Amino acid sequence: MEKTYDVIGIGCCAFDIVAEVQRYPDPDEKVGVPGIRTQGGGLVATALVAVARLGGRCAYIGPLGDDYFAQFCVDDFEREGVDTHLIRRVPGSSVVTAIIVACPQAGSRMILATAADNPVAVASDVSEEAVRRARVLHVDNFQPAAALEGARIARSLGIPVTMDLEGAGRGVEDILAFGDYVIVPLAFARRRYAADAPADGARALYDEIAPQGGKAAVVTAGVGGSFAVWAGGSLRQPAYKAPVVDTTGCGDVVHGAFALGLARGWDLERIMPYASAVAALKCRELGGRAGIPTEDEVREFLSCAEPIT
C-alpha cells in the first residue's frame, strides 16, 4: 500500500490561551500583559504541526467536540496542512483547554489545563488501513486506549512507533511495551528510574524497552540538551543557543521533528541535532506553535548554530 503520510498521530489535541508576563503575579494581584493569543496545542497535535511546517505529510486520529474551541483546533490543523479526515466529531463535547502563562525573564511557563469536556478516544477510532498508510506512528499517553491500539497495529506491520510519555498512569505500562523510539522528559526518568542525569535516564529507559523490541530511548532536559541510547551506541545532543520567549511546546516539536526524520530514513546522528534545532527556533515566539520553523529556517540555523555548553 502507498504511504500517504510520513507521520500519523494519536494523542492530545488542545486549545491554548497564551499570555506573556514580565514576572509571575502575586496572589490577588492584577497585572497587565502585552497581549493574549489563542493557538492550537497538545502533545501529539503540536508535533504534527511541526511535521507539516517542516514539509512532511501527516494526519491526526482521534475524537474532537463540536464547540468553538474544538472547531478552532480543526481549522488550525487545516491551515497548517495536517489531514483532518480521520477525526471523529462528537456533538456536545469540546477539547482539552489550557491557559498558559509564559515568563521570558524566568525562561519558564505555567500551564493550567482541563480535559473535563474532552471526548475519549477508543480503540475503534484506529483502523489498520489508516496506520498502514503511515511511515511512522506517533503517540502520547493522553488517550491510552487508542494509542495502545495504534501502537499494536503499527508494531504488527513493522511501522516505527515514536512515543511521548508524561506522568504516571494513563496506560504508560501497556503503551511502553510497543514503543520503538521512546522520548521522555527528564522529569519522567527521575520518577521512573530515580535518574538525575539524561544519560542515566536514557540508559535505564533503553534497558526497559529493548527486550520488548524498543530500538532507542531519548531523555530530554531543556537547556541541558538530550541523550539518546540505542543498540549501536549513544549520543549526547546539546541544546542550541537562541532567544527564548516561551518554552511551551519544545518537547512536542522535538517529537515531531524526530518522527519526521525517521520517516525520511535518517539515522539518529542526523535526527538529534535536527530536532534540537527545531526546538530552539520554536522558543522565539509566544505559544507552542507560532515559532515552529520551516525546513529552510532549520537548515540555515544549523549552518551556524552554537551549542549551549
- What's the pLDDT at 108? 79
Return the exposure string of 117-150: e unless at least 16 CB atoms fall within 10 Å of the residue's CB, then b: bbbebeeebbeeebbbbbbbbbbbbbbbbbbbbb
In tens digits, the chain (309 residues) has pLDDT values of: 689 999 999 999 999 998 888 888 889 999 888 878 899 999 999 999 999 999 999 999 999 999 999 999 999 999 999 999 999 999 999 999 999 898 877 777 888 989 888 999 999 999 999 999 999 999 999 999 999 999 999 999 999 999 999 876 678 999 999 999 999 999 999 999 999 999 999 999 999 999 999 999 999 999 999 999 999 899 999 999 999 888 889 999 999 999 999 999 999 999 999 999 999 999 999 888 999 999 999 999 999 999 998
Residues 6 or more apart whose CB falls under 8 angstroms from that of 5 comprise 57, 58, 59, 83, 133, 134, 135
- What's the pLDDT at 248? 86
Torsion of CA 132, 135, 136, 137, to 10 degrees: -20
Q: Is the dihedral of CA 187, 193, 196, 202 positive or negative?
A: negative
14-20 vs 82-83, strand pairing mode? unpaired
Residues 6 or more apart whose CB falls under 8 angstroms from that of 239 comprise 222, 223, 224, 225, 226, 276, 279, 280, 307, 308
- What's the pLDDT at 132? 97
- What's the pLDDT at 169? 63
pTM for the full model? 0.94
* Beta-bridge partners for 182: 163, 217
Q: What is the CATH number of domain 5-28+35-302?
A: 3.40.1190.20
**CA pair distance 174, 188, nearest whole angstrom:** 16
- What's the pLDDT at 168? 63
Q: At CA 120, angle to CA 162 and CA 286, rounded to 5?
A: 60
Domain locations in the chain as residue ranges: 5-28+35-302
